[in-house]
Amino acid sequence: MIEITVPNSQDEISLGMYQRFAKIDGDTDFKARKMLQIFCGIDDVFKVPLADINEVSNIISKALNERQDELIRHFSLDGLRMGFIPNLSRMTYGEFVDLEGYIGDWDLMHKAMAVLYRPVIKESSGLYAIKDYEGTEGSEAYKKMPISVVFSAIVFFCRIARTISNHYLTELEKETKVTNTQQGDNSLGLGVGMLRLMNLLTETLQNTKMSLNYPQQLVSLISPIEAKS
Helix, strand or coil, per DSSP, at residue 210: coil
pLDDT of 219 over the 50 cut: no
Mean pLDDT, the chain, integer: 78
CA dihedral 178, 183, 186, 191 (to 10 degrees): -60
Strands 117-124 and 74-77: unpaired
pLDDT in tens, 4-19: 899 999 999 999 999 9
Helix, strand or coil, per DSSP, at residue 80: strand
Helix, strand or coil, per DSSP, at residue 119: strand
pLDDT of 228 over the 50 cut: no
The neighbour count for residue 42, using CB atoms within 10 Å, is: 22
What are the residue boundaries of the structural domains of the chain, listed by start?
10-64
Q: Are 118 and 83 in contact (CB under 8 A)?
A: yes
In sequence order, the 6+-apart residues with CB closer than 8 A to the CB of 117 are: 75, 77, 82, 83, 84, 85, 130, 142, 145, 149
Residues 91-117: what's their mean pLDDT? 90
Residues 196-221: what's their mean pLDDT? 53
pLDDT in tens, 51-86: 888 899 889 988 988 887 889 999 999 999 999 999
- How far does CA 1 lie from the centroid of its chain? 37
